Structure 1
Amino acid sequence: MQPFAFNTTRSIQFGVGALSRIGELAVATFGTRAMLITDPGMMKTGIVERAIQVLKSAGIELTLFAEVEGDPPEAIILAATDRARSAGVQGVIGLGGGSSLDVAKLVALLAVGNETLAQVYGVGNAKGPRLPLILVPTTSGTGSEVTPISIVTTGAAEKMGVVSPVLLPDVALLDPELTYGLPPHVTAATGIDAMVHAIEAYASASANNNPLSRGLATQALHLMGSALLRSVRDGKDTAARSDMLLGSMLAGQAFANSPVAAVHALAYPLGGHFHIPHGLSNALVLPHVLRFNTVTAHAAYVDLAPYAFPQLAALQGQERVSAFCEALTQLSVDCGLPQRLRDLNVTEDWLPRLAKDAMNQTRLLVNNPRPITEADVMAIYRAAY
């Protein structure tokens, strides 16, 4: 067995109705002055209001930042950081989807004042310290509550990552009730994203691919493979929502330590240029990247397939791998997601630009189980087109 490191969130609190405990958790984690970071869409759901009531009942003096955008740009992070410093907050709470949680991570780091955003891009450059941090996901997708990663949109379209164990929060609070109101298309896209995390973590070429991540990835797929479509069809199916939220977190723990690869690298330019939601971008390229990878990741996909789709256990070898790719495609279809880039107004003349930009995602491509060239990326985009 090769040496490996495994880091994750210190405390995970899971349960239906767990949001009611956020006040006591905040007081125990950092004190009574907090910034709550969320987005305008969350403000319309009533969830933020519930959280604020619980926090204020616990004696928390609250500063609210509700301007987070999807694929958050640098300006949003810097504005939230300035507000946190001005208010002298003792801790940060992120509530929402992956974008809100990513912003909360960076505000907790940057508000201390020892580092700038420009200094911490890349792997291992953020040193800390940071403010205490609680993350509360409201989607079953990114797993951001247990990952040491924050993604930022820089310039017009390109995305960069800050990757450091310093970003792992002190507490992840997971309440399946908070996901009941997700629209079917958001449930579907974020759910596929979480499944991609598990698949890529298991097959990752990273030197830190490890038994813990692989075990978490298989358990995540076991939970989500049967729960995703049920969650899409009935948003208040508590068992399905619970399996999706837990599966998403387990997949997050897996890829936080055994990093993702080409699916994500090809998804990022689609989000940057065409503002296609990240989970949907993953779904669009997933089967095509897997087919490309089967040359070198055959054994991994043979192993994984029955966890997500138990009926595939009756198949062997390449037949099982091919059926795995088809089952993932069919799951996306059954969930009602678009299947082609052209369905999202991506025009063919954009494909070379997308391929060029995807090749800039070296942090991710190095983990792909099969080396990939720009010509390969072009072929994958064309297959998805």
Structure 2
Amino acid sequence: MNPFTFNTSKSIQFGAGSLNRIGELVRAQIGDRVMLVTDPGMMSTGIVDRTLKILSDAGVRVELFKDVEADPPEAVILKATEQAKAADIAGVVGLGGGSSLDVAKLVALLALGREELKDVYGVGSAKGPRLPLILVPTTSGTGSEVTPISIVTTGTNQKMGVVTPVILPDVALLDPELTYGLPAHVTAATGIDAMVHAIEAYASASANNNPVSRLLATQALIMMGRSILKAVHEGADAEARSDMLLGSMLAGQAFANSPVAAVHALAYPLGGHFHIPHGLSNALVLPHVLRFNVVTSPQPYAELAPYAFPELADLEGQERAAAFCDRLADLSRDCGLQPNLRAMGIPEDILPRLASDAMNQTRLLVNNPRPLAEADALAIYRAAY
């Protein structure tokens, strides 16, 4: 067995109603001065107000940052960091989807003033330390609460990552009740995103692909495969919501250590140029990237297929891998997601630019089971069009 490293959050606490413990957790892990990082959409749900009351009742003073944007640009990170420094906070709580959690990670890192954002991009560039950090996801998609990754939009449409175990939180607090009110299209897009994390982690060509990540990926696909449609179409189903939130976290643990590949590399330009939500970007290219991969590397997809779709167990080898790609495309359709790039209003003449931009994602492309050139990326975008 090859040597590997596996890192994850120090403490994972899961359970319906667990947000009620946020006050005692903050007091124990951080103290009485905290920044709460969230976004305008969360402000309208009542969850932020509930969290503020719980924290206030516990004697915690809160500095609220509520201006997180989807695909957060550098300006948002810097604004939140300056607000945190001015308030002299003792720690950070991130509450919301992946963007809010990613911003919270970087605020915890940068608020000490020992490192600057421009210096921490890349793998292992950030050294720490950071402020104490608690992350509370309200979607079942990114797994950001257990990943050492924060994605930032730089310039107008490029995405860069800060990748370091330093930004893994002290506590990941998972309360499935916080996801009950998610709209169907958000549930679908984030759910497919989480499934992509599991699939790409299992098939990753990374030297750190390891038995722990593969085991987590298969369990994640079992849980999400049986529950995603029910979560989308029956959003108040407690069991389905729990499956999706825990499955998303397991997939996050998997890809945090066995990193993702070409699906994400081709999804990022769609988000950068057209502000398509990340999960939907993944769903649009997923079956087409996998069809490209299974030509030379069918085995991991054939192995994964029955975990997500038990009916595929009767097939074998290349046939099962190909059927897996088709069933994933069907799943996106059954979840009500847009079927192709054309349906998103993307002009066909920009496809070469998207292919060129995707090739900048070298951190991800190196993990793809099949080497992918710019001409291949363009062919995949055309197939997805």
- TM superposition score normalised by structure 2: 1.00
Residue 198 of structure 2: aligned partner = 198
Deviations 1:349-371 (A, max 9, x none): 00010000000000000100110
Residue 330 of structure 2: aligned partner = 330
Structure 1 position 174 matched with structure 2 position 174 = yes
Which stretch has the larger CA shift, 254-263 or 309-318?
309-318
Secondary structure of 2:95's match?
strand
Per-residue deviation, 1:78: 0.3
Deviations 1:73-109 (A, max 9, x none): 0000000000000000000000000000000000000
Output the CA distance in 1 between the equivalents of 2:319 and 2:205: 23
In the TM superposition, what are the counterparts of 1:229-248 in structure 2 within 5 Å? Answer: 229-248=229-248
Residue 384 of structure 2: aligned partner = 384
Structure 1 position 108 matched with structure 2 position 86 = no
In the TM superposition, what are the counterparts of 1:298-377 in structure 2 within 5 Å? Answer: 298-377=298-377
Output the CA distance in 1 between the equivalents of 2:321 and 2:344: 28
Alignment-mate amino acid for residue 327 of structure 1: R
Output the CA distance in 2 between the equivalents of 1:255 and 1:12: 17
Deviations 1:184-205 (A, max 9, x none): 0000000000000000000000
Residue 20 of structure 1: aligned partner = 20
Secondary structure of 1:75's match?
helix
> How many pairs does the alignment contain?
385
Output the CA distance in 2 between the equivalents of 1:138 and 1:109: 22
Output the CA distance in 2 between the equivalents of 1:41 and 1:205: 37
Alignment-mate amino acid for residue 208 of structure 1: N
Q: Is the 8 A contact 2:181 2:235 kept in 1?
A: yes
Q: CA RMSD in A?
A: 0.5
Residue 224 of structure 1: aligned partner = 224
Gaps of 5+ in 2: none
Output the CA distance in 2 between the equivalents of 1:144 and 1:190: 12
Q: Is the 8 A contact 2:27 2:58 kept in 1?
A: yes
Q: Is the 8 A contact 2:26 2:32 kept in 1?
A: yes
Identity %: 75
Residue 296 of structure 2: aligned partner = 296
Per-residue deviation, 1:323: 1.1
Gaps of 5+ in 1: none
Alignment-mate amino acid for residue 326 of structure 1: D
Secondary structure of 2:186's match?
helix
Structure 1 position 60 matched with structure 2 position 67 = no
Output the CA distance in 2 between the equivalents of 1:239 and 1:337: 23
Deviations 1:312-351 (A, max 9, x none): 1011111111111111111100000001101111111000
Alignment-mate amino acid for residue 314 of structure 1: D
Per-residue deviation, 1:297: 2.5
Q: Is the 8 A contact 2:8 2:168 kept in 1?
A: yes
Per-residue deviation, 1:114: 0.7
Output the CA distance in 1 between the equivalents of 2:371 and 2:319: 23
Output the CA distance in 2 between the equivalents of 1:321 and 1:373: 22
Alignment-mate amino acid for residue 145 of structure 1: E
Alignment-mate amino acid for residue 111 of structure 2: A
Output the CA distance in 2 between the equivalents of 1:377 and 1:363: 16
Output the CA distance in 2 between the equivalents of 1:186 and 1:362: 28
Output the CA distance in 2 between the equivalents of 1:282 and 1:31: 39
Residue 146 of structure 1: aligned partner = 146
Q: Is the 8 A contact 2:192 2:332 kept in 1?
A: yes
Output the CA distance in 2 between the equivalents of 1:184 and 1:30: 35
Secondary structure of 1:297's match?
coil
Per-residue deviation, 1:296: 3.3
Q: Is the 8 A contact 2:143 2:249 kept in 1?
A: yes
Alignment-mate amino acid for residue 332 of structure 2: S
Q: Which consecutive segments of 4 or more residues in structure 1 shift more than 3 A?
A: none
- TM superposition score normalised by structure 1: 1.00
Deviations 1:256-284 (A, max 9, x none): 00000000000000000001000000000
Secondary structure of 1:31's match?
coil
Q: Is the 8 A contact 2:121 2:161 kept in 1?
A: yes
Q: Is the 8 A contact 2:294 2:322 kept in 1?
A: no
